[in-house]
Structures are given as structure tokens and as C-alpha cells.
Chain A
């Protein structure tokens, strides 16, 4: 079974501080991992996917198969990063995306 765990419901950090949003997963095969973000009054949208290995808005995430984790990191948080972040996992074939429960990031000025 596919499972995504985001242990923090709410994460508050000061502007300029580093941010790490945790995501752990459970899947027996080779997963594909994603981070989606929902800013206030905006639609849920893809932030990044592990196979792209890119930095979006200063965020990066590395897939650690040994620890079954896909934590989202940013070295210096900005106020505009305040949003709801969802980690998501997809297995192989046509299996649908499974989302975690989300972490609300609040960046304090």
C-alpha cells in the first residue's frame, strides 16, 4: 500500500530562517514523489517532482530511498512562502497520486 506521512501539521519559522518540511513514505516499489503547494486563495499547484531534480522558488527536495523520505528544504524562508504544502506519491502504472495530510508553513516577519 502507498502511504505518505507529513508529521507536522503546522510549521512556523522566522523570515530568513531555514525551512524543512518533512515527508516520509511507504511503498514497496520505485515511487515517484512530488510536492504540491496551495497559496492563500490560489489553486493547488505542483511545486516540484523528484525526477526533475530542480530548484523551484528556492526549494529543493531529495529522495532518500534508504530513509524513505522526501523532505522539502529552503535555506532562507520568505513571507510569500507561507502556504499549505502537500507531499504526494505515485506508484507505477496507472496507480493514482496519494497525498499526505499537509503541512501549513507560516513565515513570520
Chain B
């Protein structure tokens, strides 16, 4: 039972570099989300998707892109990394409908931007 798998676990980037954080789930969940977790700020929603081909912005979308070409995968792209994007990133998935808020989280990616 893999659940929600995030790669990599750790990453260090230089300012201006780009990279993609990977997220895959094997539960056939419709709903997927990306959050960032910062001390004192809690979990803030970056982008979310209610199904393949559909994405929407969350609270803090600037500097990030997403796409959802398959049900399983929901990658998060940092276009030009900035120190303010240093954070722990969590991907989550859930069934749609009444259970969309019972979210299953990945183990997280710890990102440092120098």
C-alpha cells in the first residue's frame, strides 16, 4: 500500500533554478492538493485538482505551476526558485464528493533555496 508518494524527500536549489516536485497516488483518488508548511503559518494551499485535466489555484499559487494529465500524478513545478520558497511541501489526495476532505498526505519534500 504505497498511498501518496512524494519525491524527492530533500532538495537544495540555488535561486533561479527550476525543478519539479513529484506526487503520485495509487488509490484512484479524484482530488489532489499541494500545500506548503512553514513555521507559524500552518498549512497553506498552493494548487489543487478535482480531477484529471482540472486544476485551480489555492491561497499561495504564485511561483508554482501544476498540471494533472492523469488521475495518479500531480507534479508541482517551481519555475524560478526563490529563498521565500524554502519550505516543506506536502501533497495530499482524497476521494471526491462527500469524502473530499478526508485527505491522505504524503511524507513531504523539504526544499531549501539558497
Counting chain B residues whose Cβ lies within 8 A of the other chain, the interface size class is 20 to 34
Q: Which residues in B have their C-beta under 8 angstroms from that of A32?
A: 101
Q: A94-B50, A96-B33 are in contact. Are A86 and B102 (CB under 8 A)?
A: no
Segment of A14-22, A39-47, A71-79 engaged in the interface with chain B: A39-47
Is A53 part of the contact surface with B, judged by Cβ < 8 Å?
no
Segment of B10-18, B21-29, B68-76, B103-111 engaged in the interface with chain A: B103-111
How many A-B pairs fall under 8 Å by CB?
47
Q: Which residues in B have their C-beta under 8 angstroms from that of A34?
A: 101
Quick one: CB contact mask for A78-96 with B, threshold 8 Å, 1 for yes? 0000000010101000101
B residues sitting closer than 8 Å to A (CB atoms) are 33, 35, 40-45, 48, 50, 58-59, 90, 92, 100-108
Cβ contacts A to B, 22 pairs, < 8 Å: A34-B101, A36-B103, A44-B90, A44-B105, A49-B101, A49-B102, A86-B42, A88-B101, A90-B100, A90-B101, A94-B50, A94-B100, A96-B48, A96-B58, A97-B33, A97-B45, A97-B101, A97-B103, A98-B59, A99-B45, A100-B42, A102-B42
